[in-house]
Structure formats: C-alpha cells, structure tokens
Amino acid sequence: MTLASIPSPTTAVWDLGGVPIRAYALFIVAGIIVACVVTEARLRARGAPRYTVLDLAVWAVPFGIVGARLYHVITSPDRFFGEGGSPVEILYVWNGGLGIWGGIAGGAVGVWLACRQMKLPFRVVADASAVGIPLAQAVGRLGNWFNNELYGARTTLPWGLEVHQMEDGQAVPNSVNGELVLPGLYHPAFLYEALWSIGVAILVWQVGNWLRLGRGRQFALYVMAYTAGRFWIELLRIDDTADVPTLDAADTVMTILGQRVNVWVSALVFLGALVYFLRVRGPQEFLVPVDEDRGFRVVTEPEFRQWELTAAEPADPTGAPAPEEPTGPVTGDEPTARVTGEPPPGATRRGPDDDA
C-alpha cells in the first residue's frame, strides 16, 4: 500500500485570451532571471560595470536555447524523425526537450562573443556565472515536473512520483488502464537534479571563496560537481524509453552500449573539467577598467582593493614600463610635457592671491 507520493500536475499549459501560457517556458524564463541576478552580483563584486550581465544575456540566452535544442534533437532523433515523429516539432521548444550540454556550449559561445565586444576576460565571466547557472537549472527542472517528464524507474519510496500521460499540455487517460495516472510510482529524477543543482551552487560559492579559485576553476568545479550528479541521475531515467508502462512506449533516445548518451557525455565532461581544474592555477581574478581600447585588466584581489581606494591603475603584470613623461620645463616643442612646478622661460609667476 502506498503511504505517500509526490503528485504531478495535470495541466502544463493555460489559455489566456487565446495565448497559451506554458509552465515549461515560465520556469525557463524564471531560471534565466535567477542566473542573471546572481551573476550580476558576482560580476559587480569583481569590478565589472553595472548591468554587464544584461549585455551578456542578449548573446548567451538565444545561443543557449538554440544549442540546447540542437543537442536534444541530436540525442533523441526518433522523436522527430522516427515513426510518428514530426521534424517541425523541433521548433516546439515549449513542449520540453532542452539538453543542458548544448545549452552550456551554446551559451558559452554567446558569452565569448559578447566578451570580445565588451573587452571582458571570458574566464572571469565564467567563474562569476558558476553559481547562477546551477540555480537556474534547479528552477528550470520544475518545468519538467509540469510536463510530466524526467522521471526514473519504479520505486516504493515515500517520495515516489505520480506520472501522467500528457498530450498538448494536458493529462489524458493512459493506454494501460484508462486512468490519468500511470500504474505505480517513479523516481522523481527532476527533483533529484533540482536539489543536486542547488547543492552544486552552494559548493561552488563556498569552496570558491574559501580557496579563492580563479582562472576559470570555479566554473570547472561547477562542471565537475554537476556532471557527477547527472551521471547517476541519468542511470535512473526511463522516460522516453520502452520501459514506460504504456502500450505506445518506444525508445526515442540515443544510447551507447545500452546507456543513454547523456551518461557517457557526463563522464567525459567530468574528466575534461577535472583535468582543467588540476592543471590550471591562479588566484581569484578581479577587473580594473583601463580605457575604451583595452577594456579591462585582470588583477589580483589586493590590487583591486588598492584600486578601489586610490583609483590608480595597477602596474602592468607583463613588466612593460609605463611611458616616461618629460620632467623639464614646458616648451613650445613639448605640448604634453609635465609641469614641474617652475614656470617656463618668459612666464610670470602668479601669486596665490592672483585671479584664476
């Protein structure tokens, strides 16, 4: 007998004056807002100008959504090109199906392009975003809950998930027993990932500050921590496979050696991030504005704190000497010479009471 369970929504879309309002889209937007707010605060603390994240988001969001959708299409081709599939549904992003790996890769390309235009160091932006991104992922997973997707195998645990068969955003009687709820309870994989992502955000925030991680290592830590969780969560999943207890269930996800491709991608990305984390060294990085042509200079925290107090540009870390200024008197041939305190020849010394 089931003593407890997690119910799933029976509606994922509402009609508002003829306009469909989809829960999945709402949570994606909410996640983006959370990521922007957190990343903006972390960028500001590192010396970036106000509202820098908005300029970055203009590039990152569309590139991220396109990348996420392409990854999902590539790894779940039967859903669009198999029997009963429809290629035009590739455009129906609101129905679910955004691959996080494609989203991160696409968003990174967008941020890189924005950083080139804004003359911002990409690795500083990456580290600043390493807390907001997993929080956005946690929020976005609630959209999967409304869509009744991202669930695992059957379970008798008290937090087992009720799952509905959905069509056009509404629960419909399933093909097994004619009821709205599928037989049994299932692992709430969406909830596991949401909670894990929140834990990842806290980990990066605390460890990053404690160890003063810089040069992209906070982002690498996020990638390692997230992929470690995604690996075991993917092993639980049965959605979009023939294991779903409906008569029309079919495998629509790509597998390698009997495992979802996301399992292998998680392992490979984890190893790549681990290698980067172990090989790269450097303190936490901050930004000091230089000029419009050069943008920002990356400095250490002590140099940044000194700049906050004095507004004096730190010394060039490459060791290049600053242009020397003449120390002699101003002459007609030296219009940019520095005044030494002595008037040039022929000039009349002014007293402190003379009019300006």
Q: According to the model, what pLDDT value does residue 335 have?
A: 44
Is there a single domain that holds both residue 274 and residue 229?
A: yes
H/E stretch holding 85 reads none
Is there a single domain that holds both residue 254 and residue 166?
A: yes
Residue 111 belongs to some domain of the structure: yes
Chunked into runs of 10 residues, the chain (356 residues) has average pLDDT values of 80 90 94 97 95 95 92 82 78 77 91 94 96 97 94 93 91 84 93 98 97 96 97 92 74 83 94 97 92 83 89 63 48 43 46 44
Q: According to the model, what pLDDT value does residue 356 have?
A: 41
Q: According to the model, what pLDDT value does residue 326 have?
A: 46
Q: According to the model, what pLDDT value does residue 332 have?
A: 46
Give how many domains the chain has, as a whole number: 2
Last residue of a domain, one of 284, 309, 328: 284
Strand pairing of 286-289 and 259-260?
unpaired
- Any idea what DSSP says for residue 210? H
- The token pair at 328 is 């002699």
Boundaries of domain holding 242: 13-284
Residue 332 belongs to some domain of the structure: no
Query: CB 50: neighbour CB atoms within 10 A?
Result: 9
